[in-house]
Every structure is written in structure tokens, then in C-alpha cells.
Structure 1
Amino acid sequence: MAETRNGLPKGFRSAEHGWPELDRIPHPPHRLPLLGDVLGASRSTPLQDSLRYARQLGPVYRRRAFGKEFVFVWGADLVADLADEARFAKHVGLGIANLRPVVGDALFTAYNREPNWQLAHDVLAPGFSREAMAAYHPMMLDVAARLTGHWDRAAADGRAVDVPGDMTKLTLETIARTGFGYDFGSFERSRPHPFVTAMVGTLTYAQRLNTVPAPAAGLLLRRASRRNAADIAFLNRTVDEIVRIRRREGGGNGDLLDRMLETAHPETGERLSMENVRRQVITFLVAGHETTSGALSFALHYLSRHPEAAARARAEVDRVWGDTPSPGYEQVAKLRYVRRVLDESLRLWPTAPAFAREAREDTLLAGDHPMRRGAWALVLTAMLHRDPAVWGEDAERFDPDRFEAGAVRSRPAHVFKPFGTGARACIGRQFALHEATLVLGLLLRRYELLPDTAYRLKVTERLTLMPEGLRLGLQRRTAPAPAAGPVREQGDTAPDESGTAERPEARCPVHRADA
């Protein structure tokens, strides 16, 4: 179990203990005694509630729930100040701390004082180097080919596809194969793999814990707590099997799991414990696919609703990739407009929609709000990305040209934060961006996306964000694009910083799941 006190994460600090001038910060009207700011709030969409309050109350505001006060920040100047690593650090907030029973002190959930974060980061960072990314690329193409095979059959039958479901299958298989040499067989299943069901269960439970009074959570969520324990046990068994296969058979060719099991810290010689290996594997399997699947799903939604953007992106893919059967690693980064589509989708709906920052010492936020050491605020990334002072009065409008190079240079720093900020920003962000850009390019080259005109975007929340119920019709393009597949062409190798080439065929053996 997580370290708790009165049902709250150990060390939790309510805002009244860290913000001396809290009364200056606005809060919603109609505050109720004991309960706080709960009128009109939804337990299933807390992030979207927070966006609504942000529009009403301004760039910094507070909410009270069940006797605890929270400060929310989204104004660009305030967020830029919170990004100062000399004065602020990552805060493991309530939603993230609720995942510690699942992954303990892994990269995403470790407290700043815990040494395993730095150990794991230093051991695993080379797994996201340019050389490593070039080696992952052919496996990404293999998994994409399974997706397009599935979508080809749907298009031939005139069936719409379940976009979030299929993107989840794609991204789970991608991180499992590239990182751990494991195949969940997702596209051969009519229902989600039990690992996905358990993962969604733990994320949903972590969010639900924030919607009930902490001391009463054990009573009010008794059945959900038992289900959560079973989900955690299943995640652990799955990962233990992945590790057991690798230790028995070897052959990872330096993938993430090899690094976890075999690599010592370059300075101290320390290695990850087996318990920490399990925690890191679960973290990468969950975080490495859940947010990317959401980003792809939102991007496909916007492309289907903006045919002019889809046509422009498709023309770029045709021009850059030409008739090559499988795009090489270097060709993905050349899809500049496709990347803008992805960035604009992440601006509107960053799938990790918030992050928390805490003061290292007593300080003054943006020269105006005093904070004591340990005081923290939740940055609403989705609202930061809508700040009209930065993005204009049309900030709700989808416009990939916001990320044209000149436009990016004209904006201040720290206004686009889909992967968090600072030393503890997402370690896998380049992996996610490469995978998502590649997949969007492959799908645009192969299909016309046909939206359901009756569909209205509805966003489901489980700490991450996903479009709910999104289905698209597909039409194969008149001139069929070559199928995605492993890169075989000579000359598609990608040199690393030292000038040596990584063979694209380098890959780890893949073991199939039986569950």
C-alpha cells in the first residue's frame, strides 16, 4: 500500500499550510461547509470541471474538497515561474501518489527524496538515444502493419473502426515489443488484453480516490478497492512473466528490459533491484502506451473533422516518402506538417493534462503570491494551452500552423508542456513523438478518414484523457499505398552522434502472450 496518513499520501500538505495569503486567491461561489466546492462538480470529469472554473476565476484559483484546499495555476507567467528548476521541483500530487501502490518509487511516481528515481533515470536514459530510437523504428513499422491489416479488413467490409481501442492496441504492442521483447497479441483479440483492462482499472481507481473523503475511502470504495488489488496483482504477474522469460532466454539486444536487468549505474555501479525492475516495467507499459494512444486518437479526430488539414498532411507524406514501401527512420522527422497536427492536438487535449510543482524554499510566485517551502500547485496544462494571452482569442480552434517555426519562436518559453517540465519531464517523449508521427503518416498515406457526422467529441478521464466512443469510417486511397513493414532498404540506416550506423534490422526476439 502507499504510505498514507488519514487516507492521504504521507506528507500531503493542504494549501492553507503553504500559501500565507491564500485568501487573496479566488474560489468558486457557493462553497458548502465541510464539503467545500462541490456544487456542480462531476466525479467522472474533474479535469473538465477544473477548466470550467479556470475560465470563470482566472489564471490562479483554489478549490476546497472535504476539508482540503488545492491551488490551480494556468496563467503563462505563473507557469513559467513554476518551471524554474532552481526554485521549484516536481510534486507527486494526489492522483499520481494514488498510483504508488501500483508502481511504488518508479520514474513517474517517485518522491524527489527517493534515490531510485535518479538511479533508474541514469540507467535507462540511453534507451531513448538516437541510436536506440533508430533500432526501435523497424519494430514500430511491424506493429503498424498489424494495425493497417486490421483497418484494411474493416474498410473492405464497410465497417467503422474503434479509434481509441485500436490506438491502445497499437501503442501497447509497440512499447511491449521495443522495450521488452513481448507480444500481447492485441490485434488477434476481439476484446482488450486483460493487461489493458487491469491498467484502466488502476488508473480509474486512482482518480476515484480523489472524489471521496480520504478517511472514508476504505468504506465507500470497498468493492472498488478489492478490484484494484486484483488489478495490481494481475499487472505484477504479467510483468513477472515477462522478466522470467528474459532471464531464462536472454536475447534482448540492449532493449529497456536488458538495461534494467544488466546495466549498472555508470558512476556508482549500483543496479536496479528486482522489485524496482517490476515497477519500472509496469510504468513503461502503462505510461508508454496510454498517453500516446490518446494523442493519436485526438489527432485522428481532428484530421477527420478538418479535411483541409488532412489533405495538406497527406500531400506532405506523399511528397516526402514518395513510393518507398517503408519509410526510414530519418524520413519521419521530415514530416513537419504532420508533426504540427500532432502538436496542435496535444495542445488542445494534452493526454497527461496536468502536473504539480512544489517550492524548494520559501519563495514568491511570479513576484506576487508567497509560498512556503513544500507548498505546491497543480498546473492545468490543458488550460495553459488555451491561455488567450498566448494563443489568441481563437485558442479553442484547431490550427496546426500555430506550430509553424516562426510562430513557435514568437511565443514565450514554457507555454507548451504536454510532457511536463524540468528534470522529471517524460523520459520517453521522443519515443512517443516518433511513434505517433510515423503512425499518422502511414494512416494518412493509406486511408481517407470518414467522420460520423453525428459524433460530438466527448472526453473520458482516468488521470489521462481519451476521446470516448470515437469511430471513423475508412476509404482506401485510389492509388493504394505500400503496406508498412520492416525497413530493409540499404541506406535507411541512421547514424548516431558518433557517426556509426545502427542496423535497422537489429531487434529483440518477441515472445507471445498466452493470457
Structure 2
Amino acid sequence: MFLYIKQEYPEIANQGLVYMDVWPIGYPMLAVYHPNMMAQFIQENSLPKFWAMSQVEFKGFTGGQDLVNLDGLEWKKARSLFNPGFSAKNLLSLVPDMIEEVLIFRERLRKVATTGEVIKLEDYTTNITVDIVGRAVLGTRLQTQVKPNHLMETMKSQVGLIYFGLDLPKQLNLILPLKNWIYNRMIRNELAPYILNTAQNYEKIEGPKTIVALALKEYINEVQDYTARENIPSEFVERVIKHIKIFMFAGHDTTATVLAYIYYMLSKHPDKAAKIRAEHDEVLGTDPTAAASLIRADPTLLNKLPYTMAVLKETLRLFPPVGGSIRQSPPGHFLTHPETGVRYPTYGFMMHSSAATVLRDPEYWPDADSFIPERFTTRDESDPLHPVKNTWRPFEMGPRNCIGQELVFVEVRLILALTVREFEVEETYPADAPSWMGFKAYQITHPEVVSTAHPKDGLPVRVKSRSQGD
């Protein structure tokens, strides 16, 4: 929406921001377009999240008591609790567990490649990312690729109750609080045993530690009571469950869409697909079937795939699942345009760092609508393709950047390393299907998964096997 407003009213938007009164659909808004003005309230002075996120939008889902919505000291404590689990080093240690799930994904692709049936690619990428998040966060096999999973089905049903704008059927639904209470109880009953079992058996866990296990370690170190493992307070369990819910929801949903879009974009750009496959041949050997064993033995091989990372970053630039961060300002707060020096008041507005707009802005990205992964491989700052400071922000920036971005980097590189040489996809949209911004697989708001962008119709494709050497 903000991108089209900028295109429609360039004389206003080129001042760096746009004020909008969208009542009764939403709150008075301030869309910020200049990356260095975004930095003023996201990075240099990280302002609190907009009040309605915790008190209205996520109130039923987590009570606003999660890492996305908390502020101040409570947020700092939560972030420090989970930082160790989301570190690059720890996530690489979990790669052997992730590989088990990716091999199931690969078998599913082989099966549909043999039958030639049309699938919704997003369904397949969603299931694999759910299973990887289950391994990384909880240390359990959710097996959503094999059979329906009660935890995720319940969570999906509850996510469908969230609303971010004018939605009278939800806002006037008197049984909505009851539904949220029931779902919260069901999800708690599913998750609490994982937390308590991890706490009580922490010393017995061999090898890599999950995100929850490391959070419990941080908690036990914090309270300096090593008998706490046997008696974790129920308030702490409740707190961890709320964080896990946001990790499970945000961690699979956004990764699934970007993974689907990567396969889609590689199908549209055979030259880029050839480059990523050549990189995999060089780093992992020319036998794709041996890649899993090699990576299991040395997960750091994933760090030697710069072009694969560039493909991921360029896909996120074109199809960011989240449009930006939403903040609120104190009275007397201003944003200053760095070139003109003009100061703009912000108090009383929902401030939006319009990341999805700056990611497609031709002022910062030459040939902005084209898929050019090479933007992220050049180290020469004088190269026109080199990303401008503060402009690549699909995970946002500053102290409140997405804690899960390292997990995205690890799992997407792993999945591509084990599949992209063996398969390619072919979109199966009808010939007369509408295009938007040059693609039939344009991003939409899904009525059941309301908070992030998804590919139209789940991205229908046929999966094709590639003969070796193609």
C-alpha cells in the first residue's frame, strides 16, 4: 500500500514521509520512506512498539507478552534469554537435526515430480519450515510433513482470530475472548510438557541444545538456583510459552513464503539458477546425493555459499513477508530529513518504517524490480549495485531486529543445498491469471494468516526432476 502511495504521490513522498488519516479502518499513520529517517526511530533511538499491537492485535494470542510486543526492561530480559539459542554458532550445531526434516521434504518433492501433479508450493515449504522450527525451538519432531499436527493446527486457528484493521465480524464477535482462552489452554497443554521435560533433564541432553534449552539455562543461571530445574515457576513457563508461540508462528510463516519465492524466481531466471547450482557443485561436490552427508559432517559448509545467500537476500528484497516495523513516539518527538533539515512531528501517529517501499525504491536500487542477486555479492561500495546503507531491511534493523534471521539464513541455505540441483518448478497459473508488478505469484493478504504477505493461491507449480548436469 505504501509503495503505491509513493508512486501515486511522489511530490509528497519524496519529502521522506507521508501523513495519513485512515479512520475508521485504522489509526492515524505516518509512513516513513527515507531509510535514514527510519534509522532515527528504529536504530539510533529505538522507540516502543505501537500500543495497539500488544493491547489489541496480539492481546488474545499472547497477551502482548512476547518478544515482538514487549518493551523496555521486560523486552531486554526476554531478548537476552533467547539470544544464545538464536546465535549462528548454536543454529549450525542443530543442522544435523534439520537435515532429517529436509530429507523428508526432498522425498516429497521427488514424489510429486514423478506424478506430475500440481501442488501449492507454499503448503510444502510451510510444512518443512514448521518441522525445522520444531526441532530448533523445542527439540521435537512435529512431523507436519507426514501428518496433521495438532499444535500447529490449533495455532493456525488462533492466528485466524487476529485482526489488524477494521474487521467488524471479529471486533463484534462476543465469543472471541472465549475462543482465545480455549486455544491458549490447548496450546499450553501441548507446550508445557516440552518445557518442563527440558528443564528436568537438561543435564542429560547430549550434543546441541535447542533454543528453549538454552533459554532455561539462562534462567537457571540468572536465579542462581540449580535446584530450579525441578521446580520451574508456572509464571516462567507461561512466559516461555508466549515467546514460543510467536517463534513458531513468525518463524515458519515468513520463511515458508520466501523459500517458495526463491524456487519461483530461479524458475524465471535460468542464468541465476545455473550460478547457484554451480556454487553448490564447487562447495559440496558434483554429486547432489552426497551433500547431506557432507553438511552433516561440517555444517560450516553453509557459510561458504555466498551466492546462495545473495539469492535469499534478493528474494527477500523483492518479496518481504513483513512491510516494516510499527512504533509510537513520545510527545515532542520529531524526525529530521537528513538532506533538507526539515523537522516533522510524530506524536499521536502510528509510525511505520516502510521497509517494503525502500526495498523497491529505484533511488536506492538500480533496476529495482529486477531479480539481481549480484547486488549482494559486490564488495565495491562504488559499484551502483552495492546496497546503500540502511536500505536492506526485511528483518528490520537496530536492537529490535528479528531475532530469528540467523535461523532463516541457516535453514534456507540448507534446504536449497539439498534440493535446488535436483528439482526445478514450473508455475501453473491459468494463462489469463492477472499479473501484478510483473508476476502472477504476487503477494496477497491471506484471510486466515492475517499478518504477513503470501504468494497468490499458494503458488501453484509442477515440480520437475533435473537430470544431472542440466
TM-score, structure 2 normalization = 0.81
- How many residue pairs get aligned? The number is 424
Runs of 5+ unmatched residues, structure 2:
226-231, 434-439
The offset of 1:336, in angstroms, is 1.4
**Matching of residue 203 in structure 1 with residue 159 in structure 2:** yes
**Matching of residue 260 in structure 1 with residue 210 in structure 2:** no
Are 2:315 and 2:371, in contact at CA under 8 Å, matched by a contact in 1? Answer: yes
Partner of 1:460: 444
| Counterpart mapping for 1:287-298 below 5 A | 287-298=250-261
- Structure with bigger strand share is 1
Taking a change above 3 Å as real, the CA distance of residues 231 and 275 of structure 1, as seen in their structure-2 partners, is closer
The offset of 1:372, in angstroms, is 5.7
In structure 2, the residue corresponding to 1:72 is in which secondary structure? strand
Taking a change above 3 Å as real, the CA distance of residues 128 and 84 of structure 1, as seen in their structure-2 partners, is closer
The offset of 1:422, in angstroms, is 1.2
Write out per-residue CA displacement over residues 419-478 of structure 1, whole angstroms, 9 at most, x where no aligned residue: 122111111211111111211222212213223263621423221122132122222222
CA RMSD of aligned residues (A): 2.9
**Matching of residue 362 in structure 1 with residue 315 in structure 2:** no
The offset of 1:109, in angstroms, is 3.2
The offset of 1:107, in angstroms, is 4.4
Alignment partners' CA distance in 2, 1:387 and 1:346:
14
Partner of 1:486: none
Runs of 5+ unmatched residues, structure 1:
1-48, 482-515
Partner of 2:306: 336
**Matching of residue 140 in structure 1 with residue 140 in structure 2:** no
**Matching of residue 120 in structure 1 with residue 78 in structure 2:** yes
Are 1:180 and 1:252, in contact at CA under 8 Å, matched by a contact in 2? Answer: no
Write out per-residue CA displacement over residues 372-397 of structure 1, whole angstroms, 9 at most, x where no aligned residue: 667551112111101221013x3122
**Matching of residue 239 in structure 1 with residue 191 in structure 2:** yes
**Matching of residue 383 in structure 1 with residue 334 in structure 2:** no
Alignment partners' CA distance in 1, 2:424 and 2:68:
40
Alignment partners' CA distance in 2, 1:152 and 1:206:
36
Taking a change above 3 Å as real, the CA distance of residues 261 and 84 of structure 1, as seen in their structure-2 partners, is closer
The offset of 1:65, in angstroms, is 1.6
Alignment partners' CA distance in 1, 2:54 and 2:364:
28
Taking a change above 3 Å as real, the CA distance of residues 249 and 438 of structure 1, as seen in their structure-2 partners, is same
Partner of 2:38: 79
TM-score, structure 1 normalization = 0.74
Q: Report percent identity of matched pairs.
A: 21
**Matching of residue 60 in structure 1 with residue 49 in structure 2:** no
Amino acid at match of 1:136: L
Taking a change above 3 Å as real, the CA distance of residues 176 and 217 of structure 1, as seen in their structure-2 partners, is closer
Taking a change above 3 Å as real, the CA distance of residues 413 and 202 of structure 1, as seen in their structure-2 partners, is farther
Alignment partners' CA distance in 1, 2:6 and 2:188:
39
Partner of 2:437: none
Partner of 2:466: 477
Taking a change above 3 Å as real, the CA distance of residues 201 and 474 of structure 1, as seen in their structure-2 partners, is same
In structure 1, the residue corresponding to 2:68 is in which secondary structure? coil
Alignment partners' CA distance in 2, 1:298 and 1:312:
17
Partner of 2:58: 99
Amino acid at match of 2:318: L
In structure 1, the residue corresponding to 2:416 is in which secondary structure? helix
Alignment partners' CA distance in 2, 1:129 and 1:280:
17
Are 2:27 and 2:349, in contact at CA under 8 Å, matched by a contact in 1? Answer: no
**Matching of residue 315 in structure 1 with residue 278 in structure 2:** yes
Are 2:314 and 2:376, in contact at CA under 8 Å, matched by a contact in 1? Answer: yes
| Among 250, 257, 267, the residue aligned to 1:304 | 267
